[in-house]
Structure 1
Amino acid sequence: MTGTYPHVTLNNGVSMPALGLGVYQSKPEETTAAVVAALNTGYRHIDTAAAYFNETEVGEGIRRADVDRDDVFIETKLWITDYGYDAALHGFDKSARKLGVDTIDLLLLHQPLPSAFDTTVAAYKALETLLADGRVRSIGVSNQSPTELQRLLSESDIVPAVNQIQLHPYYTQPDWQAENAKHGIITQCWSPIAGSYTYNGNERNPFEEPTLVELGRKYGKTPAQVMLRWHLDHGFSAIPKSVKPERIEENFDVFDFALTANEIAAVDALNTGVSGSIDPDVINLTDHAYVIPE
């Protein structure tokens, strides 16, 4: 592989590797090996969450890899059952203990929880305290709409460094991108490669999408690699998930080419405006009250 591993600078000056390994839906028994494979491949950013129930295995993978802890950017997220000020502080303690670290590089609130947004704000204030105490290096949110983000900003003191949202060529969320950019917030993309996607009753496969296939042929890359390059060329952070070593390596091999402005626009044009996934605003404490174990 050639080229430079790109980083983005967060609004508090912290440097974050733009491409990371995501472990959403990675089974605990597969997670440690995936993290080891990623770090030994060259990744230096791992994204997990309390509600993925694999933080312990992520921590074990970091310890087993041939990489110093200080060289790894660790990101995790608090679940809604640990919202509220004191509960969020305890949620941090649980995550740090499972990860086996004293400091977390980026801590996010996993969902906006509009049905109890006051507890979202209280949890964010706990993140501000953790940042002031040096227990986290940066803080942020996930799945927050422009309206929710504006409210959070009006009731807190520190602008989030990151808003992690669903974003891929079929669902680009330009309004959410613009609101993040307006406040100097990095857009981080979950599900960056889209996967199986249904639009107007028709299933679309990004790996067969003509625009992506043609660009891949031009650069000697796969459609997945083209999509990840598109994220990087936009200045986003992307966290593709895989537990297969060969796919982990493939996803990392995207630093030796760049798309032109016209090619980026051609990929942008694939946007359908349809999520194809659950609406974050329906996440609530009645139906999604997962208990995060100690």
Structure 2
Amino acid sequence: MTDFELRQPYADLPTASVPWDEELGPQPDAGAVVWELGAGEWYDDGFETIGECFDWFFEHVDTAKVRAIVIGEWGESYAEDSGPIVSRLAEEAARLPELRHLFLGDISSDQAEISWIQQSDVTPLLEAYPGLEVLEVRGGSGLRLRPVRHESLRMLRIESGGLPGEVVRAVGDSDLPALEHLELWLGVSHYGGDATVDDCAAILSGERLPRLRYLGLQDSEIADELAAAVAGAPVVARLETLSLAMGTLGDEGAEALLSGQPLTHLGMLDLQHHFLSKATAARVRAALPGVEVNLSDALQERYGSAYVAVSE
């Protein structure tokens, strides 16, 4: 398992693969498991297309009870985008009235590198499922999002080796009054990660995110610039966890955090995978005695140039 594969169990539920293997016993109650759908050479179920997988799912599962779905590989996901999956889920929304958790792209690096995964416009998922509470997406290539208002979404995670700036802006321009956890892997420009600090401005203002408690602007090659912006960002005052992990954060960014607004109210400051000197890392810890500061995976002493944890 790589550090960006799906964490198990998902949604605090065991996983049931589609189709259900009858040798495992009776098919579980539809609402008591996470239903995992996928098609392609990595799956032993014989489904060649994700459409066939969906057909079995809607025919054999009481989808009115389903609360959580994980979508894995959809055939050649490095060549075919997720558009048909998004469309199918949006069209079948009436048959999934209890859906609360959705992960689109549970694809390991053995199947396709994260930057190869071809996504699409995921806005229809939020529009079709007003009760959705958790949306997680892996892959930034072709990913699009339009500003929306969603009353129920509590967690939005986008894992990417390169996240388009327009997606970051759309998140900031969305009204998400229930959102508590926002995690964006910004990635690198070589793989489409062209988001700038200005693209993050609406998120950092927090105006449309009144309940936000976890903010992760992670896996970024502009981590020092983000740290300088975060140091004076209004949203920080209400956070419990701030994460600039997995990126290229160095002494310059850490100095900005130390000289900015107080961070002593945080429960966690996650700077894992960083390029701070030992002296600066010690200063950060000393400045935040009541805060859990994650400074693991210190790389300054081992590598001369900074790099993000996940790109390709």
Compute the TM-score of the two structures, normalised by the length of structure 2: 0.32
- Which structure has more relative contact order (CA 8 Å, sep 6+)? It is 1
Compute the TM-score of the two structures, normalised by the length of structure 1: 0.33
Larger radius of gyration: 2
